[in-house]
Structure 1
């Protein structure tokens, strides 16, 4: 081949590699919208119609369809949901329910809201539609009926799928629809904790405690989407729904939401001239959102309420534990020696990692960055007095070596007054290689060993 032809071929290949690299490591879309839930007026928006990934916001539609089934009498809160092999195999975050085991419908709702449990969301979809694929088709059809014209669903839980797409505007439509259509069930979104088989799970929607009047709705994260959040709040008889997508950290996402909503409540009760194209599920066209009345609910659901709905998994050996302060509680033998406030991890246990209380990443952040074969090692790139610089250092390290860290997991480990910037989910060879290259770039680095439970902690 002539030299000139080789040059053009090389240039073409280089362009293709650059294009693929740019696509693989593209930054998440940053978008937002805030609407008046009663009038449907859009108060503010930014990139509201740019397509992105919903991540665990997908579970809002899963619950919308479950609430619809409850309202129609197809299913009851006290009914049991059986976990198929497919549902039980869903990646973390999950409840680690065994295939063939059952949980009550109300437990599944709390697991989805508080824990963002992927296995529970899939089990709900299979219970309603027979299969997750059939359920995803119903999800998409319902989205269209509600006016969510730019949303497509491919699964019930939000785990990564390149065809599962949405926009900030569509998520606002869904948030308002949940308020409008199911006020009798909306209070579940205010739950901050629940108990399952003797383990108390704490939620990670910190806006509930940072914004006056906030009472839901859902967080979400996969690497391609960034940190997502839909929030609803009521102040002085006025209810707003806000959406923030593509946040770089959960702390900054929450901060943006609180600032946006506070500004919205201080803004006169009028929008920017744009109306949310909100439709009733079976209507022919857009409809103005009717007045929304949400019953007051406690910030957390009492453990006793949840315990009454439990169906034990006979496959898991159980032991007694008195660590809950209420006498003997029954919990899985595999975690009976651990902290009862920590989640059950799948497939490992023995969790030792603790995170900054105020700004830790969402627990569902594991969703698309974990590969089960890459267990055992991680790297630490510094220890800091504050969370933010630790997070920044870990992010900087992963961006410096994108090929090595492509399937790794950032984990900010709080130890005493220090926040250790760590990246987990590596093989020993990759961890050593990463440290060697980072040290060559004059970045402090050390290799540490971990286990599958530790790496999945967040």
Structure 2
């Protein structure tokens, strides 16, 4: 390798490392986390670029690639077929989103189940695959671990088939590259499974969560994943001029940044040739980390976490690293990598998605049986809704009748109380009437207001005289005052 080319590689890798760590710039230096990145050639297994490739990481739904390998391997061995029926158990139906929401007891073919988990990333379907093919989730997880070791995955530990959070379940970027190569190598007839743009179930059309499909030219797989602890991950493959590249990007804070970084890595990788000095996937050194970092504080923080596997991907303005630096990237890897640190590039998105081409999926053994099941379920739902409405109407009617009866009863009780009160009033003994003080007989106009305190009696006769005169009239009776001698004035006022 010439010194000029080596210098360009050095500058390019330095620029790339600066960009890929930019999303974690807010983390304190003591808490810095290097997110795993890996770009490799599919045919040779040579590494084009690697950053923390063997560090343990929470895989999220890229776990479903491992589930799919185990299922296709069982088909290859003749133990099951793509027409084998997968049954949704109550435990599978209880798995959190993303999910199809099928009722317990629903059945579908393994072929349809695999299409659904690759496109919709349905956790209930992946769980049902594990239960049905393994007999139990623990048995299927053991099959996943045995298969991983056999195909050369050294950093992975599997405990469930759908990638929902489990602190014991992790993988590495290198292991996912090994798995992607094994899927392409061992099951060439099934590679279209990883590039379906959308599925259609009944009238519902569900687009693939992979934001590179239909946006980045040449993308032909594979799978995305998200949980708060692992961030937004993707295992992607793209082909250009007969050459296929694998890109793994993990721990990103959003689907857009994940998709754009993967696209820029593809742009860079297709300008490079993995020479004899490039390491192979097997030659990458083991990580010193004992367990994965928890990205939850940096990806989800205190906010509500995004719905698992529901990231819409990039859908805005076109543009690539090569286009935004004037087309010089194709001939200058160093410039292409340096362009990654450009803020305009970091904020860009990919072109709008090409029109979807949905693939039909169904429950039951075939579309006709699936339609019959859907019709029966629709009839049941309609009947249940009608019963619910009838029950509500009946309950409202009963409530009105009860209210009327209660009002009638209350009126009757009030009338009864009034009648009882009236009867009691009739039969009760009358209380003794108070004898009102007999008003004094009005005094004649000539009477005085002041009368004697003792009862009048006959005056005592004096010798030689007749009866005495009546008592003098008082002033209280408001009659004309009696003229009195002046010498008696003080006595009268007193």
TM tier relative to shorter chain: 0.5 to 0.7
Question: Counterpart in 1 of 2:3?
Answer: none
Question: Counterpart in 2 of 1:107?
Answer: 112
Deviation at 1:83, TM superposition (A): 1.1
Q: For the residues of structure 2 that align with 1:64 and 1:302, how far apart are their CA atoms?
A: 21
Question: Counterpart in 1 of 2:163?
Answer: 158
Q: For the residues of structure 2 that align with 1:71 and 1:141, how far apart are their CA atoms?
A: 16
Q: For the residues of structure 2 that align with 1:332 and 1:259, how far apart are their CA atoms?
A: 48
Question: Counterpart in 2 of 1:308?
Answer: 367
- The answer to whether the Cα contact below 8 Å between 1:197 and 1:332 also exists between their aligned partners in 2 is no
Residue 155 to residue 305, structure 1, CA distance change in 2 (3 Å): closer
Question: Counterpart in 2 of 1:93?
Answer: 98
Q: For the residues of structure 1 that align with 2:276 and 2:165, how far apart are their CA atoms?
A: 34
Question: Counterpart in 2 of 1:194?
Answer: 199
- The answer to whether the Cα contact below 8 Å between 1:31 and 1:48 also exists between their aligned partners in 2 is yes
Deviation at 1:269, TM superposition (A): 4.1
Deviations 1:36-94 (A, max 9, x none): 11011111100111111000010000000111122222222222211112111111111
Q: For the residues of structure 2 that align with 1:75 and 1:186, how far apart are their CA atoms?
A: 19
Residue 182 to residue 221, structure 1, CA distance change in 2 (3 Å): same
Question: Counterpart in 2 of 1:277?
Answer: 282
Deviation at 1:152, TM superposition (A): 0.3
Residue 314 to residue 305, structure 1, CA distance change in 2 (3 Å): closer
Residue 275 to residue 84, structure 1, CA distance change in 2 (3 Å): same
- The answer to whether the Cα contact below 8 Å between 1:28 and 1:246 also exists between their aligned partners in 2 is no
Question: Counterpart in 1 of 2:174?
Answer: 169
The structure having more radius of gyration, on CA atoms, is 2
Is 1:39 the counterpart of 2:11 in the alignment?
no
- The answer to whether the Cα contact below 8 Å between 1:42 and 1:271 also exists between their aligned partners in 2 is no
Aligned residue runs from structure 1 range 20-419, under 5 A: 30-270=35-275, 273-277=278-282, 300-303=357-360, 308=367, 311=370, 314=373, 318-319=377-378
For the residue of structure 2 that corresponds to 1:206, the secondary structure is coil
Residue 315 to residue 186, structure 1, CA distance change in 2 (3 Å): closer
User: How many pairs does the alignment contain?
Assistant: 282
- The answer to whether the Cα contact below 8 Å between 2:205 and 2:358 also exists between their aligned partners in 1 is no
Q: For the residues of structure 2 that align with 1:305 and 1:88, how far apart are their CA atoms?
A: 17
Q: For the residues of structure 2 that align with 1:186 and 1:78, how far apart are their CA atoms?
A: 18
Residue 133 to residue 155, structure 1, CA distance change in 2 (3 Å): same
Q: For the residues of structure 2 that align with 1:315 and 1:89, how far apart are their CA atoms?
A: 20
Q: Which has the larger helix fraction?
A: 2
For the residue of structure 2 that corresponds to 1:149, the secondary structure is coil
Deviation at 1:276, TM superposition (A): 1.6
Residue 203 to residue 113, structure 1, CA distance change in 2 (3 Å): same
- The answer to whether the Cα contact below 8 Å between 1:82 and 1:102 also exists between their aligned partners in 2 is yes
Deviations 1:135-171 (A, max 9, x none): 0111011111111111000100000000001111111
Q: For the residues of structure 1 that align with 2:145 and 2:105, how far apart are their CA atoms?
A: 28
Deviation at 1:309, TM superposition (A): 8.1
- The answer to whether the Cα contact below 8 Å between 2:37 and 2:173 also exists between their aligned partners in 1 is yes
The unaligned stretches of length 5 or more in structure 2 are 1-26, 284-354, 386-494
- The answer to whether the Cα contact below 8 Å between 1:190 and 1:300 also exists between their aligned partners in 2 is no
- The answer to whether the Cα contact below 8 Å between 1:42 and 1:272 also exists between their aligned partners in 2 is no
Q: For the residues of structure 1 that align with 2:155 and 2:161, how far apart are their CA atoms?
A: 17
The unaligned stretches of length 5 or more in structure 1 are 1-21, 279-297, 321-330, 337-458
Q: For the residues of structure 1 that align with 2:39 and 2:208, how far apart are their CA atoms?
A: 23
Q: For the residues of structure 2 that align with 1:309 and 1:141, how far apart are their CA atoms?
A: 38
- The answer to whether the Cα contact below 8 Å between 1:197 and 1:310 also exists between their aligned partners in 2 is no
For the residue of structure 1 that corresponds to 2:262, the secondary structure is helix
Q: For the residues of structure 2 that align with 1:57 and 1:221, how far apart are their CA atoms?
A: 8
- The answer to whether the Cα contact below 8 Å between 1:27 and 1:224 also exists between their aligned partners in 2 is no
TM-score for the superposition, normalised by structure 2? 0.53
Aligned Cα RMSD in Å?
A: 2.9
For the residue of structure 1 that corresponds to 2:247, the secondary structure is strand
Deviation at 1:304, TM superposition (A): 7.7
